[in-house]
Amino acid sequence: MSSPTRWEIFWRTVMGRAYPRVVGMQRERSWLFFDTVLPLLQVSAFVFIYRAIQAPPEFTGFVVLGGAMTAYWLNVLWSMASQFYWEKETGNLELYIIAPTSLMAILLGMAIGGMVATTVRALAVITLGLLIFRVEVSIVNVPQLLGVFLLTLLALYGLGMLFSSLFLLYGRQAQHLSNLLQEPVFLVSGFYFPVRALGFIAALGASVIPITLGLDAMRQLLFPTMMAQFRFVDVRIELGALAVLSIGFLWLAKRALSYMEDLSRREGRLTIRGQ
Amino acid sequence: MSTELAMKTEQLSRVYKAKKRKARGGEREIIALDRVDLEIPTGELFGLLGPNGAGKTTLIKILTTLLAPTGGRAWVAGVDVAQNPREVRRHINMVSGGESSGYGLLTVEENLWMFTQFYGIDGETARRRIRELLEIVGLADRAKTKIFHLSTGMRQKMNFVRGFLTNPEILFLDEPTLGLDVQTSHTLRGFIKDWVGKRADKTVLLTTHYMYEAEELCDRVAIIHDGHILACDTPGNLKKHLQRGVVFRLRVTAIANPERLFQHLRGVQRFSHVEVNGYTELDFILEDENALPPILTAIQDSHGELISLEKRDPTLEDVFISMVGRGLGEGGGSAGTTEGAPR
């Protein structure tokens, strides 16, 4: 039997590592409650606040969309950024490293598996949210909407891969960092309100988190009338910026992964457990 | 490096830097491996014996590319581990004792399939090998079981299968039967022996806490202590070093402070003791049989009662004790050494 090529190993690794995430979702049905009902409760709180102050109905749509996108941010933080910590604790990380594959392929597999699994959750939240709160959307441009959505995911999971690489060296601190990033990003990325409300400069700063631009662009494409007065920048600019972020984060993730793996091997921290 | 050698190390060293306590600041150095020279030919089942902290795992981590050496060089399958770790990885695999790898929600065969993908093995070949190997280790009926339902022994069998699935040229087994029951350990030892025995191009580096395991399996054994290789030879040749001495095992009623009792007796090269069910078991390596009567007198003087006395051939454990100064047995025991004892 001939030896597999590097590409063959790479793509088989991606599929292999994506598999547990996709299959795991079907086998652990508790997500139906935890990842659908609980986010909807949070969404409900904001919906009722907006209704109480008699905000336009589109604001309910902003919140439902933001609520659905929280699933991705949580997935990136807890199942990408700090994932290598868990893999280290279970002993999987050392098996990944001694295999003739690349850690980049492992990360990509985790990302693809995470995206697929989380999309099911996000769709569930958005469908239920739209039905329960009777949100009306008017899609302006379907290809653009799909493009924004896919580029947002690409850039977001690219960021997750970068975090994961940077956190390779760390143990429990990776978890603390994830904790630290969770709530502030809900705020600065405008998960429950148009990000423009923070002011242009603050929104510009928050745009380093791809979900900021993604949410704004998707809101513009789903609720064009209301977003005309709240939009951050033009959708085409946001699309371009998301493309740049995607490429940038993936490139940085690859460089960081290589550097951190080398550093961890030198410092002997690659497989130390219980840090 | 000769291609006949599966592994070679030259003056291989690893120093860890640990931070000192706040008051003093700075760093202190811990030498885990100190200029280790080893040559392991292809086709050999090589054992590495040493107490906890001796440097076994550090050596394995370097050879499996998980850790960079701080000095010297190492080659695996003819490839420098520091210069080209990725190429080394094409030739190796590893199984560790007490491993909890894999994902609990996946079944045994799904987990194994996933790991084969990291080696680029096509689906059909992977499934065939999984079936065959699960059959061999007696886990075929659990192929569809999610791994969080497996017992420790079953899980370790699965780990074994994972290690062999990729058909590596060089396999690292780091205390692979740790904590397993007798039957499972026996099955796995048989499997290892068979795998290397039938394939001349396969090499295994085994670390173990169980002397009988090393004695039963290994073509050659290296004894490692404090980062140094103290001896490296076949189990038979290592035991010959002790042929001049005689080995006794005494079981006595519990006695206090055996170190003080026996340490300075003439003719005692080494001894170790362990408490077993309220008795003290004493293992002596003596220069000759004339050293025995003073031992018996010392036991009597300390109000101990002799339960049994056995003269036996030296084992690998005795060799180990004579070199390291203590046994490998976990917990309970300690050892003493007389002045001028061989090291």
Q: Where are the domains of chain B?
A: 5-238, 241-337
Q: Which residues have a Cβ under 8 Å from the Cβ of B216 and sit 6 or more positions away?
A: B189, B193
Q: What is the pLDDT of residues A75-109, one digit of tens each?
A: 898 888 888 888 988 889 999 999 999 999 999 99
Interface of A with B in 83-102 (CB under 8 A): 90-92, 94-101
Out of B106, B117, B119, name the one closest to residue A15 (CB): B117
Q: What is the pLDDT of residues A233-258, one digit of tens each?
A: 999 999 999 999 999 999 999 999 99
Q: What is the mean pLDDT of residues A57-81?
A: 92
Reported residue count of chain B is: 343
* Cβ <8 Å between A266 and B68: yes
pLDDT at B87 (0 to 100): 93
* Cβ <8 Å between B66 and A94: yes
* Cβ <8 Å between B86 and A100: yes
Q: Measured between alpha carbons, how far is A33 from A15 in angstroms, rounded to an integer?
A: 28
* Cβ <8 Å between B106 and A20: yes
Per-residue pLDDT of chain B (343 residues; tens, 9 = 90+): 555 899 999 999 999 887 766 556 677 888 999 999 999 999 999 999 988 888 999 999 999 999 999 999 999 999 999 999 999 999 999 998 877 889 999 999 999 999 999 999 999 999 999 999 999 888 999 999 999 999 988 998 999 999 999 999 999 999 888 877 888 888 888 889 888 888 889 999 999 878 888 888 999 999 999 999 998 999 888 877 766 678 888 899 888 788 778 877 888 877 888 888 788 888 888 877 888 888 888 888 888 888 888 887 777 777 777 777 766 654 433 334 332 222 2
Q: Which amino acid is at B28?
A: R
Is B241-337 a domain of CATH 3.30.70.260? yes
Which of A6, A10, A12 is the mutation pick for testing B, counting most B CBs within 10 A?
A12
Residues of A in contact with B124 (CB under 8 A): none
Summary count for chain A: helices (H), strands (E) = 13, 0
Is A86:B102 a contact under the CB 8 Å cutoff? no
Is A102:A10 a contact under the CB 8 Å cutoff? yes
Residues of B in contact with A99 (CB under 8 A): 89, 115, 118-119
Which secondary-structure segment (H or E) carries B86? helix B85-88
Q: What is the mean pLDDT of residues A58-64?
A: 94
Is B46:B220 a contact under the CB 8 Å cutoff? yes
Nearest residue to B172 via CA among B72, B81, B53: B81
**pTM for the predicted model, two decimal places:** 0.84
State percent of chain A over pLDDT 90.
Answer: 67
Out of A16, A92, A270, name the one closest to residue B117 (CB): A16
Q: What is the pLDDT of residues A168-217, one digit of tens each?
A: 877 677 778 888 888 899 999 999 999 999 999 999 999 999 999 999 99
CATH number of B5-238: 3.40.50.300
Task: Tell me how far the alpha carbon of residue A6 is from its chain's centroid.
Answer: 28
pLDDT at B186 (0 to 100): 87
B41 exposure class (CB count in 10 Å sphere: 0-12, 13-18, 19+): middle
Q: Measured between alpha carbons, how far is B167 from B195 in angstroms, rounded to an integer?
A: 10
Q: Which residue has 């074994």 as its token pair?
A: B160
B83 touches chain A (CB under 8 A): no
Q: Measured between alpha carbons, how far is A121 from A67 in angstroms, rounded to an integer?
A: 11
pLDDT at B331 (0 to 100): 41
Q: Measured between alpha carbons, how far is B266 from B281 in angstroms, rounded to an integer?
A: 20
Which band of pLDDT confidence, cut at 50, 70 and 90, is reported for residue A52? Answer: very high
Q: What is the DSSP letter of B120?
A: T
pLDDT at B341 (0 to 100): 28
State how far residue B280 is from chain A, nearest Cα, in angstroms: 36
Output the six-digit token pair for A209: 């988190």
- How high does pLDDT run on average in chain A? 91
pLDDT at B332 (0 to 100): 38
pLDDT at B302 (0 to 100): 83
Flag whether pLDDT at A15 surpasses 60.
yes
pLDDT at B50 (0 to 100): 87
pLDDT at A1 (0 to 100): 54
CA-nearest residue to B88 within chain A is A100
Q: What is the mean pLDDT of residues A113-140?
A: 91
Nearest residue to A225 via CA among A147, A141, A144, A138: A138
Strand pairing report for B203-207 and B220-225: unpaired
pLDDT at B257 (0 to 100): 80
Out of B93, B101, B106, name the one closest to residue A91 (CB): B101
